[in-house]
Amino acid sequence: MSDTDRPDERPAQAPNAVSSSDEVTIRRAPKFGVFIVGGAVLGFIATLIVVSATMGIDRGDQQETASFGSLVGYFSLWGVTIGAFVGAVVAVVLDRVFARRAARLTAERVEVELPPETVEGEIEDHGDADRQDDRTQ
């Protein structure tokens, strides 16, 4: 049986410690920024693949005026935006799923008041200031 399985046994507390119990919720939560940036990167990669696949299509008598770079630049505005939106939606869905699986536990908060640090007696002068005066002369 581990220490966490025995709630009745508590560690010894200092004589000036104050403890209180609080109910806490423990759950996993996705990092929204990671999902949004990841979706944007995947949207850019999807844009690169689509533009590369459609560059060789014969468009009849239309002149090819746009270069590969300009097409990727234009369509990546859409691809990155849609990818970031999809990443945010995935993060919200995961957040809702993890919120349902949240566990409520009781945590004990212990506040210990430290005694003031006082020194009895006088501070002795070791003559360090006199030695520095001798060096500067």
Distance from C-alpha of 91 to C-alpha of 82, rounded to nearest angstrom: 14
Model pLDDT, residue 54:
86
Pull the structure tokens for residue 70. 């300009």
Whether the per-residue pLDDT at 23 is higher than 50: the answer is yes
Please indicate, yes or no, whether the overall pTM of this predicted structure exceeds 0.85.
no
Whether 43 contacts 79, CB under 8 Å:
yes
Distance from C-alpha of 108 to C-alpha of 102, rounded to nearest angstrom: 19
Whether the per-residue pLDDT at 33 is higher than 80: the answer is yes
